[in-house]
Amino acid sequence: MSFADLKKQSSLGSLTSKLVKEVEKMSTTSSGADERLWKPEMDKTGNGFAVIRFLPAPEGEELPWAKMYTHAFQSNGGWYIENSLTTLGQKDPVSEYNRELWNSGVDADKETVRKQKRKLSYYSNIYVVKDPTNPHNEGKVFLFKYGKKIFDKIMEAMQPEFEDETPINPFDFWQGANFKLKIVKKDGYWNYDKSEFDRVAPLLDDDDALEAVWKKQYSLAAVTAPDQFKTYEQLEARLKMVLGQKTSRPRLDEEVEDEDNDRGSYTPDFTSRRSEPELPAVSSSSSNDEDEDDALSYFQRLAEE
């Protein structure tokens, strides 16, 4: 660009417009975002709506979901945001520390445990049928992270409560059903109570097209593969630093979206454990009741061991 062109753009105001557009793109695009993950968005009315289809287990895998436990809490030394080794059935330093606090009999310690409890999330492959806020996602396969509320709806569809209801497999290409994801703000948080499965129908009428969709799925086993977890010693060292039990230079946390499918949750980057996002303050009231029950029953079992 010549100086004359620069002056011309200045007089027309086009350069300012261009810079504004670039800033908007920067603010709406996260450099560390995993493009495999799909997330619903709220519309201008403050509600969210999308239609998705849960997909079968990927080729060579048995389950159509992966189950992940994580910890995300803040203390004097900063944030502790890590995958929990309890996902793999192994001992985890936070769980052991929480057990000690829970067994102390001090109410304040139990409140600390509630803030540091495990967070349960699930991952599944989905096909986006309708995404009004981001129509370019329609017809594509993504990984979808969701919480116990949506998982319970899946289980209810597979094992209905009443005898006049026919069980369905939501993960079936032919005998499954689309899931109408309906989100409203309740007490400042996303609520999924109105979400529901549609009638049973094939995802697509063409088996060749269905096979193409199936082959586009992402590995769920990779989500909870051993390389997605730090060692016990690494997690223990990080926990001590966060708790202020040793002197260490605080790490610089990367920015991450501060809202997810459940209160106080976040989206871990399971492609690289170097990602350690910064989160908003979490209080004991910022967790789903279902997660609270799960966590308290877990610590109760630990206390009885």
Written as one string, the DSSP assignment of 27-70 is HH--TT--TTEE-----TTS-EEEEEEE--PPTT-S-S-EEEEE
Tell me if 263 is assigned to some domain: yes
pLDDT by residue (tens digit) across 94-108?
A: 999 999 999 999 999
Tell me if 32 is assigned to some domain: no
Tell me if 21 is assigned to some domain: no
pTM: 0.72
Q: From residue 255, how far is each of 72, 121, 258 by CA, in Å?
A: 14, 20, 9
pLDDT by residue (tens digit) across 21-77?
A: 555 554 444 446 789 999 999 888 889 999 999 999 999 999 999 999 999 999 999
pLDDT by residue (tens digit) across 159-184?
A: 998 988 999 999 999 999 999 999 99
Tell me if 7 is assigned to some domain: no
By residue range, what is the domain housing residue 120?
37-304
Tell me if 10 is assigned to some domain: no
Which CATH number goes with the domain that contains 63? Answer: 3.90.198.10
Tell me if 28 is assigned to some domain: no
pLDDT by residue (tens digit) across 56-65?
A: 999 999 999 9
Helices (H), the chain: 3-12, 14-28, 93-103, 107-116, 148-158, 207-215, 232-242, 289-304
Q: How confident is the model at residue 186 (pLDDT cuts 50, 70, 90)?
A: confident
Tell me if 6 is assigned to some domain: no
Distance of alpha carbon 38 from alpha carbon 141, whole angstroms:
9
Tell me if 150 is assigned to some domain: yes
Q: From residue 177, how far is each of 49, 130, 302 by CA, in Å?
A: 16, 14, 39
Please give the tally of structural domains in the chain: 1
